[in-house]
Amino acid sequence: MPNSAEVVLAIQLPALMEKLDVDERDDPAKALANMGLPSTVIETMEKASGVGLKNVDELVIGMGFEKGSFPPQIVVVVHTRRPYEMAAVARDAKARLLKRDGRTLHVVKASPVPEIYWWGPNDRVLVATLLARDFADVPAEPRPGIGHLKPQVAELIRDRVPVDASAWLVAFSDQWGDHVRPYTFLPFTPLKGRTDLIAPAERLRSITIAIPQPSDRPAEVQIELKSAAAGEELRTAFAQRFHGEKVEVNGAGEICRLQTPFDPDQFGIFVARLVGPAH
């Protein structure tokens, strides 16, 4: 994962699938949809994985905005369930070769994105990007731990993500308003027309979402705002929005925390309601 990442999403797919109903445990796309991921994102993840989501053990996605809010730098790191052959994956996808910064990349046409670039550092890991330039910050050798990430991102992972989480997301930036703005007017994004989200984004500092593996532990969302007043306002708004439901809203100062039992059929709806309806 590059040290430029400001958003990191990690999914232990076999562990997450165990939390689904028995009849749905062989459908990773449904599992990701239940987490609230848009269908276009899931389609891109399926293609970016190279080996297919059913053959993925762990999927980590990093997103950074140092080179621009749109398109951001997106790096997908896939750990496969079993060894794979990069040459066979590339041949089946009719990929073309591209030499870039000492790496051999495999470029494949994809939908809904124009192209995906694959790099196979070994037979259990596949790295993918949407732009060739995004490999510039990807290390040639794996770096253990999270010490190379931005300090704020690493701190969120250490302090707010349970070690037994089957899926989690952390995001930190002081410029969310600038990052969100272009997505509110581009026609093919889920935030099209949502200019009402720009002002809340400008007050946002970080967000963490974690789904612990044990079924008796709730899923948790922690949102950090830039001021205690904004935190109090958000806690009040969420307490009203989720009144009478199995959602506990608490926190203090700049922090708003929500906890809810993990229901695989409702979690995506819960995440979508954090953003709220369009005005």
State pLDDT tens for residues 206-260. 999 999 988 889 999 999 999 999 999 999 999 999 999 999 999 999 999 999 9
Number of domains in the chain: 1
- Residue ranges of alpha helices (H) inside the chain are 13-18, 28-34, 39-48, 86-92, 151-160, 176-180, 198-203, 228-241, 267-275
Question: Is residue 215 situated within a structural domain?
Answer: no
Q: Measured between alpha carbons, how far apart are the two ends of the chain, in Å?
A: 37
Domain that residue 22 falls in: 1-210
Residue 173 lies in a domain: yes
Q: Is 278 domain-assigned? A: no
In a domain? residue 95: yes
Question: pLDDT (tens digit, 9 = 90+) per residue, 73-114?
Answer: 899 999 999 999 999 999 999 999 999 888 999 999 877 778
- Please indicate, yes or no, if residue 14 is contained in any of the structural domains: yes
Residue-level pLDDT at 24: 63
For residue 112, cis peptide bond before it (omega within 30 degrees of 0): yes
Residue 255 domain-assigned (yes or no): no
How confident is the model over 190-216, as a mean pLDDT? 90
Asked if residue 139 belongs to a domain, the reply is yes
Flag whether 111 is in a domain. yes
What are the backbone dihedrals phi and psi of residue 189, each rounded to the nearest 5 degrees, phi first?
Answer: -105, 155
pTM as predicted:
0.91
